[in-house]
């Protein structure tokens, strides 16, 4: 599996340090409240598990499954909610946890969708930000790392449901995904 990686972009140690920092920052911002962390499946699950363990707040969590990619490498532009929330978010501080902010299409849709449920606030936390690919006017409130316009996998990020279990973020060799590009 690691033979498919062209280069390691962010090491396991760098991720661990930054996730701890993000946990402290969120703990400070939401001190005295009980926010709801919403993980966007499947990519965010590893990041969210590590993040929430570094937050010193009473909090709860839920998950949504939202897609716009399928097995390709670029967004289709059509956002589909495959799993909705189990929790009521009205009047709650909501923290959306995402693996990567890429085109912004999915997260723009998701933020609007959740805003209609009248939360107290919505905060967007993303492990990775890839601004070169942005198609929608959205910015994360908290970013782990900014990454270049390369196809990245690992630490929850996948290609065709593979590579999520890598402990680092790496750039996938183009020959691995070249048949799937649109």
Q: Has 102 been annotated as catalytic? A: yes
Cα gap 171→24, rounded to integer Å: 28
CB 95 within 8 A of CB 26: yes
| Helix or strand holding residue 82 (H, E) | strand 80-83
pLDDT, residue 129, reads: 97
- Reported as a single tens digit per residue, the pLDDT across 130-174 is 999 899 999 999 999 999 999 999 999 999 999 999 999 999 998
Q: What is the pTM of this model?
A: 0.91
pLDDT, residue 178, reads: 79
The residue annotated as part of the active site, out of 50, 99, 102, 158, is 102
- Reported as a single tens digit per residue, the pLDDT across 58-116 is 999 999 998 775 555 555 567 889 999 998 999 999 999 999 999 999 899 999 999 99
What is 14-150's CATH number?
Answer: 3.40.50.2020
- Reported as a single tens digit per residue, the pLDDT across 30-67 is 999 999 999 999 999 999 999 999 999 999 999 999 87
């Amino acid at each position: 599996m690691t033979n498919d990686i062209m280069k390691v972009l962010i090491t396991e140690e760098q991720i661990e340090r930054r996730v701890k920092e993000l946990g402290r920052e969120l703990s400070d911002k939401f001190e005295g409240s009980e926010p709801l962390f919403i993980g966007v499946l499947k990519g965010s699950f590893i990041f969210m598990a590590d993040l929430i363990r570094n937050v010193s707040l009473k909090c709860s969590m839920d998950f949504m499954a939202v897609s716009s990619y399928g097995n390709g490498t670029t967004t289709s532009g059509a956002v589909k909610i495959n799993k909705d929330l189990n929790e009521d978010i009205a009047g709650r501080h909501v923290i959306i946890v995402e693996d990567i902010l890429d085109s912004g299409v999915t997260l723009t849709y998701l933020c609007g969708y959740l805003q209609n449920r009248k939360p107290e606030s919505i905060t967007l936390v993303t492990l990775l930000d890839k601004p070169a690919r942005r198609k929608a006017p959205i910015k994360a409130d908290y970013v782990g790392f900014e990454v270049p316009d390369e196809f990245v996998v690992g630490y929850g990020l996948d290609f065709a449901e593979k590579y999520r279990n890598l402990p680092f973020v790496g750039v996938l060799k183009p020959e691995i995904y070249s048949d799937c590009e649109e």
